[in-house]
Amino acid sequence: MNEFLNVAIVGGCGRVGLPLGLVLATRGCQVSLLDIDARRVEQVNAGQMPFTETGAPALLQQVVGKSLRATSDARCLAAADAVVTVVGTPVDRHLNPEIHDLYRSVDSALQDMRDGALLVLRSTVYPGVTKLVYDRVRDLGRNIHVAFCPERITEGKAIEELVTLPQIVAAFEPEAQARVRDLFARITPTVIELQPLEAELAKLFTNSWRYLNFAVSNQFYVLAQTYGLDFNRIHDAVTRDYPRMRAFARAGFAAGPCLLKDTLQLAAFSGNNFFMGHAAMLVNEGLPNFIVNQLRGAGLGGKTVAILGMAFKAESDDPRESLSYKLKKLLELEAGEVLCTDPYVPDPTLVSVERALAGADIVILGAPHAVYAGLEFPPGKQVVDIWGFWRHAAGGCGTMAQSHA
């Protein structure tokens, strides 16, 4: 058994920090979740999850007040053998990486950390940031080991994936490499070692690849719809019993807090020569505009439109960078009324699904939550289902999914 470790997570009450903290707290670590969000800190210490994450509520009950606690007091860093930072790394309004929050949080963590401790960057960072942090530590004359270990979970499956997915770890020096390998070997059987710049690119390649993959399907969707054809019928035909097309995704909103901004981080790193990344952005971000353009042809003015599902993806309560909200904004310029609903997203402007459906002339599926599978639409309503969700929910016969074309 590994020695008992004291771990602090900066940004510990967020979507990445909290699941990691929960898992480490069951693997021989005393975990402090440091966060500036006082409400989240209070919720976690009261045993309540601040967001939905499968399997997390039971784990939280098991460890809170014992091997895990949340705090806003940075003094918890002084006792830590390892400090993991997972604060957000957004792009700015010019689509360039915004790394100052990360730098500020690392700088302030360094003030409290003790010499000999390990600092692990877990946020998705712009390539080269690990080296800059490493140089900063040396310039300050501090004996702190720096490592980078990217988070690769998908929201909603974090607890399962943290203990099953391989972990990529990287550091400049053997001792830091050994320490970060030992930390993550506590939670997963497979640890993959890379150089820091390789690991930074590995994470950005992963998210960009997924974003491009969705863009291909969305481009094909737009193409088929433009010719009055049903993309999902074609998708079903080419993927059935044909393993080479297994990676052919369905069409749908490709959004959320990570895929686009990480594609843009890679675009910035390439000196804005990542043509496929920018093209993918135009296609994926253009999908709400395409829907509105098609609806405009059949007349939008004066009509009531319902958007079902405001989270950025199915079964999620996370509305960050959701294209349903972009669609809502576009529709508000042209439709009579826009009614939005979601059973999971905490947004006081949302209405119940019954209210949304009752008033709507046009129904658009924004996020294919499973609870919508059994919905029935009275005759006369126009239904837009880019995902092909109701076609499959209805056993592939397509009875409920009508094209808006």
* 3-state DSSP of 260-277: HHHHHHHHHHCCCCCHHH
To the nearest whole angstrom, how small is the minimum distance from the Cβ of residue 20 to ligand NAD? 9
Cα angle 80-82-88, degrees, rounded to a multiple of 5: 105
**Closest CB to ligand NAD among residues 145, 261:** 261
Residue 86 in contact with ligand NAD, rule: CB under 6 A: yes
Nearest 10 degrees: Cα torsion 26, 191, 145, 20: -30
- Asked if residue 277 lies in contact with residue 266, where contact means CB atoms within 8 angstroms, the answer is yes
The sign of the dihedral angle between the CA atoms of 133, 138, 139, 141 is positive
| Both structure tokens of 268 | 């910035």
To the nearest whole angstrom, how small is the minimum distance from the Cβ of residue 119 to ligand NAD? 14
Strands 337-341 and 304-308: parallel
To the nearest whole angstrom, how small is the minimum distance from the Cβ of residue 9 to ligand NAD? 9
Residue 225 in contact with ligand NAD, rule: CB under 6 A: no
- How many residues lie near ligand NAD (CB under 6 A)? 25
- Asked if residue 92 lies in contact with residue 265, where contact means CB atoms within 8 angstroms, the answer is no
Site for ligand NAD in 247-306 (CB under 6 A): 257-258
To the nearest whole angstrom, how small is the minimum distance from the Cβ of residue 351 to ligand NAD? 26
Residue 31, SS3 per DSSP: strand
H-only helix segments in 113-258: 129-139, 158-162, 174-185, 196-226, 231-239
**Closest CB to ligand NAD among residues 261, 391:** 261
Residue 59 in contact with ligand NAD, rule: CB under 6 A: no
Residue 162 in contact with ligand NAD, rule: CB under 6 A: no
**Closest CB to ligand NAD among residues 37, 160:** 37
Residue 88 in contact with ligand NAD, rule: CB under 6 A: yes
Mark residues 118-157: x for contact with ligand NAD by CB under 6 A, - for none.
-----xx--------------------------x-x-x--
Closest chain position to ligand NAD (CB): 14
- Asked if residue 1 lies in contact with residue 74, where contact means CB atoms within 8 angstroms, the answer is no
- Longest pairwise C-alpha distance within the chain: 72
To the nearest whole angstrom, how small is the minimum distance from the Cβ of residue 134 to ligand NAD? 18
Site for ligand NAD in 2-21 (CB under 6 A): 10-11, 13-17
Closest C-alpha to 105, from 74, 130, 126: 74
**Closest CB to ligand NAD among residues 155, 285:** 155
Q: Which of 6, 37, 45, 229 binds ligand NAD (CB under 6 A)?
A: 37
The binding site for ligand NAD (CB under 6 A) comprises 10-11, 13-17, 34-37, 40, 86-89, 101, 105, 123-124, 151, 153, 155, 257-258
